[in-house]
């Protein structure tokens, strides 16, 4: 069952639009899976009042897996640029949540996926770069625990990954400072056991 599910996600993922090489797309999928695995692990430990606000685990996990699928449409030279992005490059980069939402909706349209699940996953993809403090994009600013949960785990996962512009994972202190400024303590509390020592 698990193997079939994983195969299904990868097949759908790799067939969605994009200009990246297969290995680059797979790396983005691996990032999404890391966020999803962490989401599943923490979700089960949350008090019911909080997990209830997040909605079904399957929806949260799909939101996590697909959150960056729109990056497959961003040119490799921008995604893998070692230096600062120009304003124009940033404008393109900031489109990946909208592109991802559109591509996810198109790919899942006739797949038999429940409409409520599908709409919610699309919303999580669209909003995953919003931050509770109003920074980030696109800044709809509606309080949404699901958006904060996936955003926090995405930010944490990204900070622990080696990127072309950063050869070392970020330190515990930097991670805590950035996350504490951005996400509610109710969620941060549950992330603390995962922080590096
Ligand atoms: Fe993203
Ligand atoms: Fe991400």
Domains and their CATH numbers in the chain: 3-194 (1.10.3210.10)
Mean pLDDT along residues 30-53: 94
- The secondary element (H helix, E strand) that includes residue 51 is helix 48-54
What tokens were used for 29?
């999928």
Residue 110 Cα to ligand 1 middle (Å): 25
pLDDT in tens, 59-97: 999 999 999 999 999 999 999 898 899 999 999 999 999
Q: How far is the C-alpha of 184 from the C-alpha of 148, rounded, in Å?
A: 8
Q: How far is the C-alpha of 96 from the C-alpha of 11, rounded, in Å?
A: 20
Specify the pTM: 0.90
- Tell me how far CA of residue 76 lies from CA of 24, 52, 64, 86, 133, in angstroms: 8, 38, 22, 15, 30
More confident call, 54 vs 185 = 54
Mean pLDDT along residues 136-140: 76
Residue 150 Cα to ligand 1 middle (Å): 10
* Percent residues over pLDDT 70 in the chain: 94
Q: What is the pLDDT of residue 112?
A: 82
Q: How far is the C-alpha of 16 from the C-alpha of 131, rounded, in Å?
A: 27
The SS3 call for residue 167 is coil
Q: How far is the C-alpha of 178 from the C-alpha of 62, rounded, in Å?
A: 25
Q: What is the pLDDT of residue 3?
A: 37
Residue 140 Cα to ligand 1 middle (Å): 16
Q: How many CB atoms lie within 10 A of CB 139?
A: 12
According to DSSP, residue 197 is labeled: -
User: Is residue 147 predicted with pLDDT exceeding 80?
Assistant: yes
User: Is residue 4 predicted with pLDDT exceeding 50?
Assistant: no
What tokens were used for 186?
């109710």
User: Is residue 19 predicted with pLDDT exceeding 70?
Assistant: yes
End-to-end Cα distance, the chain: 35
According to DSSP, residue 84 is labeled: P
Question: CB under 8 Å to 133, separation ≥6 — which residues?
Answer: 181, 182
Residue 77 Cα to ligand 2 middle (Å): 18
Q: What is the pLDDT of residue 141?
A: 65
Q: Mean pLDDT across the chain, nearest whole number?
A: 88
Q: What is the pLDDT of residue 2?
A: 35
Residue 36 Cα to ligand 1 middle (Å): 14
Q: How far is the C-alpha of 188 from the C-alpha of 149, rounded, in Å?
A: 9
Residue 66 Cα to ligand 2 middle (Å): 9
Chain centre to alpha carbon of residue 75: 19
Please report which confidence band the pLDDT of residue 140 belongs to, taking 50, 70 and 90 as the band edges: low
């Amino acid at each position: 069952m698990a193997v079939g599910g994983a195969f299904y996600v990868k097949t759908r993922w790799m067939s969605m639009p994009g200009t990246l090489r297969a290995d680059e797309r797979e790396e983005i999928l691996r990032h999404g899976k890391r966020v999803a695995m962490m989401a599943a692990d923490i979700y089960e430990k949350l008090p019911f009042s909080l997990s209830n606000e997040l909605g079904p685990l399957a929806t949260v996990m799909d939101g996590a897996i697909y959150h960056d699928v729109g990056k497959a449409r961003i040119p490799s030279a921008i995604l893998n640029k070692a230096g600062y992005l120009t304003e124009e490059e940033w404008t393109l980069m900031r489109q990946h949540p909208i592109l991802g939402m559109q591509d996810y909706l198109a790919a899942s349209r006739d797949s038999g996926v429940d409409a409520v699940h599908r709409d919610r996953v699309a919303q999580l993809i669209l909003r995953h770069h919003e931050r509770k403090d109003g920074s980030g994009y696109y800044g709809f600013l509606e309080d949404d625990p699901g958006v904060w949960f996936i955003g926090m785990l995405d930010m944490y996962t990204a900070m622990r990954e080696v990127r072309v512009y950063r050869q070392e994972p970020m330190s515990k202190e930097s991670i805590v400072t950035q996350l504490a400024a951005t996400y509610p303590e109710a969620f941060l509390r549950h992330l603390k056991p995962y922080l590096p020592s």
